[in-house]
Structure 1
Amino acid sequence: MKAFVLDRYGQKGGLRLADVPQPELRGDEVLVQVHAAGVNLLDAKIRDGEFKLILPYRLPLILGHDVAGVVVQVGPDVRRFTPGDEVYARADDFRIGSFAEYVPVKEASLARKPSNLTWEEAASIPLVALTAWQALVERARLQKGQKVFIQAGSGGVGTMAIQLARHLGAVVATTTGSSNLALVKSLGADVAIDYTAQDFEDVLHGYDVVLNSQDGKTLAKSLRVLRPGGQLISISGPPDPAFGQQIGAPGFVKLLMRLLSAGIRRKARRQGVDFSFLFMRADGTQLGEITRCIEAGAIRPVVDRVFAFEQTNEAMAYVETGRAKGKVVIKLK
């Protein structure tokens, strides 16, 4: 099969298009023929070696976390899917590889593709929607009437998180550039702050939850918009000791995480705020819940551009510019 392969970390020249063996299935996996694959900044960060300690992949490696496609083969332990099923998923850590014609996915990580979406739209959903779900539903337990601040509202996670929070009945604030204010409002943002003209810290006060996706300076400012007892959930770091425990990291990695997050955890304690780091995981059950929201019209995909499979390196470069509204997708079929 054809695939885009990473031969070494820091490969700024791009991934290599190659013919590679079709992956072998494990008992609890299905083989998906890829029709479309979502592109995430996480793919670029793995390519550049930024996650070597957290995700020690063996090279060469096929990148790609989001997939929408058709089941062509199932393992002997699979019960819920059969060949011909239209599905989508966030591929599992250490089994990623949707920048290819075929990718194996655990049955537990797979969901049926929303009936009202195209392949490209479906491929844009899993990673960002699961991130939003695990942050707002699972971690924050966001309730109707609570106030949530979602940073970078026009990005991949932001566009999903705004819609999900609105669906849950929360009051939603976000930041974006002036050209994207109409977009985030159309997705359900009650307060849309143009970050080029205003500082969110001057506008927002007494919030229950902040979903942080930006740098350390923004993370520190986010503490100050929360009420006592509020939650600061960061998907951009720094990783905390609880995350190190969750992934079973070696002792020196746990120590590093403790040191990296010590400052923000100390500041959070002083202000009576809870800080936690979230690294999303594949989850087919949660993705099934998201499917129901999509089919009911509560959540819609936001796709900026669709690239041909041969343009995978160009698609990744576009994602790295940070200018995409919503998601970028690669089309194979």
Structure 2
Amino acid sequence: MKPAKPQSTTMDEQTFVPPTMRALYFSPASTAVTDHTSMDEPRTDSHVKFDTDFQTPIPSGNDYLVKVQAAAFSHDELRLSNILNPSKSIPQIPLHSFCGTVISTPEKDHWNPDGPKFKVDDAVFGLIKHTRDGAAADYVIVSEDELAYKPKNISAAEAATIPMPALTAWEALFKYAGLDTADVKQGRQQLRVLITNARNNEIATQALQLLRSHKLFPHSRPWICATCDAEDQEDYLRKEYDVDATIYAPLPLPHDYDLGSIFRKNRWDPVDVVLDCAGQEMFEQAHSPKVIKEHGAVLTAVDSTPAEARDPLDDDEPRKDGVLSRFILVSPNGEALSRISELVEADEVRGRVESIKDLVDGTDVLSSGAAGAGGGRRGGMMVIRVN
């Protein structure tokens, strides 16, 4: 559906938007007993449905309406969103990493005197807050800080796979680990990083690409050690991402596995940052003083334990041993995503499409039990093709 007047900035003049749309959504679980519910009736869990007559969202005066081309998800995203975001009492549309076309813009934009940043018919990609409906539908409402221009050199499907994992990796390095982009570019920081489960996790893959970006690290090449759960992956990591060292770490870890002993045996100095994409025992072993420097950062993208055990808003201080131990709570960041888009167009960052399914087949993909079951041990992003 082409917009009627691309030069316009008021929704009613821009395009005709149908009142209903196709959408995948998770039905709410039966958690409450009502007058119509028998105490003997079993509790039903939330399950995914496909609807061809779902109400099209109506944007507020500060939001954009985007026609979705593709939306993507990883196993971990679904698993962690279920743990960290309580289910709503209304249907919830999943898949928060997406690519699409702007259909309508904010009617009023007090921040930009020349009108909204994104115009009708602009190709965009982005990450939507997980407390809002996602993009497994024909249309989605987004705010400006959730968007960036889609890179011109990749498909919509590949673009949809990038926002969530790339922003998670970006925030791990430049927010949680506290790297200063100016210091990094001028070579004032000699960075040492350990990335676990580096071959099979998309956040790890994006982190490897960022760390090997000449635009981000033009004068100081970070030292990277990567763990992998199959010995034949070591050559791949060295050739594809030029990692400096690899460690074989089968998952789940054997009971006698000792990451600290491996560092000591190889006479490696402790690292500044650990980006954990394996979780559980690997995340715990990464806190060894043989692995992480004093005042370093051990960050996990897959193990929700730190987030569940502590209030994330009050846990910004390092632990008593000087090590910051955190779960990465990724959030939309339009400015960072714009930087990532530039790296994509410079061929320094790419997405990874594991599979592509049409929206109508999405119930099979999301209901199969495979989505989320593998956790961080399975790689790639699965794409739902919408329009």
TM-score, normalised via structure 1 length: 0.84
Listed as ranges, the matches of 1:75-114 within 5 Å are 75-78=106-109, 79-114=116-151
Q: Is 2:49 aligned against 1:16?
A: yes
- Alignment of structure 1 residues 7-86 onto 2, 5 Å: 7-9=27-29, 14-18=47-51, 19-41=53-75, 43-45=77-79, 49-52=82-85, 55=86, 57-78=88-109, 79-86=116-123
Residue pair 1:95, 1:105 contacting (<8 A) in 2 also:
no
Distance change in 2, residues 1:77/1:56 (3 Å): farther
Structure 1 or 2: more helix by fraction: 1
Give the length in aligned residue pairs. 311
TM-superposition CA deviations, 1:5-29 (whole Å, max 9, x none): 1112497784100121101102221
Shift of 1:71: 0.7
Report how far residue 46 of structure 1 moved.
6.3
Q: CA distance change for structure 1 residues 199 and 292 in 2, over 3 Å: closer, same or farther?
A: farther
1:254 is aligned to none
Measure how far apart 1:100 and its partner are.
0.9
Letter in 2 for 1:145: Q
1:212 is displaced (CA, Å) by: 2.1
Match of 2:174, SS? helix
Helix, strand or coil at the partner of 2:355: strand
CA distance in 1, matches of 2:293, 2:105: 49
Corresponding position: 1:244 with 2:313: yes
Map of 1:181 onto structure 2: 234
SS in 2 for 1:20: strand
1:215-247 Cα offsets, whole Å, 9 max, x none, are 3322220011101221112233312656134xx
RMSD: 2.7
User: Secondary structure of the equivalent of 1:82?
Assistant: coil
Any gaps of 5 or more consecutive residues in structure 1? 246-257
CA, structure 1 residues 165+203, in 2 after alignment: closer, same or farther (shift >3 Å)? farther
Mapped contact 1:71–1:87 kept (Cα < 8 A): yes
More deviation, 11-20/29-38: 11-20
For residues 299 and 274 of structure 1, the distance between their equivalents in structure 2, rounded to whole angstroms, comes to 27
Question: What residue in structure 1 maps to residue 360 of structure 2?
Answer: 310
Deviations 1:150-205 (A, max 9, x none): 12212111110111122233111222222543443313432232212975433335
Alpha-carbon distance, 1:74 to partner = 1.3
1:273 is aligned to: 323
Aligned to 1:327, which of 361, 381, 384?
381
SS at match of 2:212: helix
Distance 1:188 1:329 in 2: 28
The structure with more radius of gyration? 2
Q: Superposed, which structure 2 residues align to 1:295-306 within 5 Å?
A: 295-306=345-356
**Is the Cα–Cα contact under 8 Å of residues 109 and 285 in structure 1 kept in the other structure?**
no
Question: How many angstroms apart in 1 are the aligned matches of 2:351 and 2:223?
Answer: 21
**Kept in 1: contact 2:28–2:46 (CA 8 A):** no
What is aligned with 2:26?
A: 6
SS class of match (2:203): helix
Q: 2:292 aligns with which of 226, 231, 244?
A: 226
94-103 vs 64-73, greater mean Cα deviation: 94-103
Contact 1:29/1:74 (<8 A) preserved: yes
Q: Does the alignment pair 1:193 with 2:247?
A: yes
What SS is found at the alignment partner of 2:207? helix
Q: Could you tell me which residue of structure 1 aligns to residue 8 of structure 2?
A: none
Structure 2 contact 279–300 (Cα < 8 Å) conserved? no
Structure 2 spans left out of the alignment, 5+ residues: 1-20, 31-43, 110-115, 264-268
Offset of 1:101 from its aligned partner?
1.0
Secondary structure of the corresponding residue to residue 158 of structure 1: helix
Name the SS for the 2:164 alignment partner: helix
Structure 1 position 75, deviation (Å): 1.9
The separation in 2 between residues aligned to 1:242 and 1:110, in whole angstroms, is 28
Cα distance in 2 for partners of 1:43, 1:276 equals 17
How far, CA to CA, are the matches of 1:208 and 1:273 in structure 2?
A: 10
Q: Does 1:203 align with 2:262?
A: yes
Q: Provide, for residues 26-78 of structure 1, a one-character-per-residue CA deviation record: whole Å limited to 9, x for no partner.
A: 2221111111101133553367x4224xx563421111111101111112135
* Aligned residue in 2 for 1:151: 196
> Using a 3 Å threshold, how does the CA distance of structure 1 residues 110 and 191 change in structure 2: closer, same or farther?
same
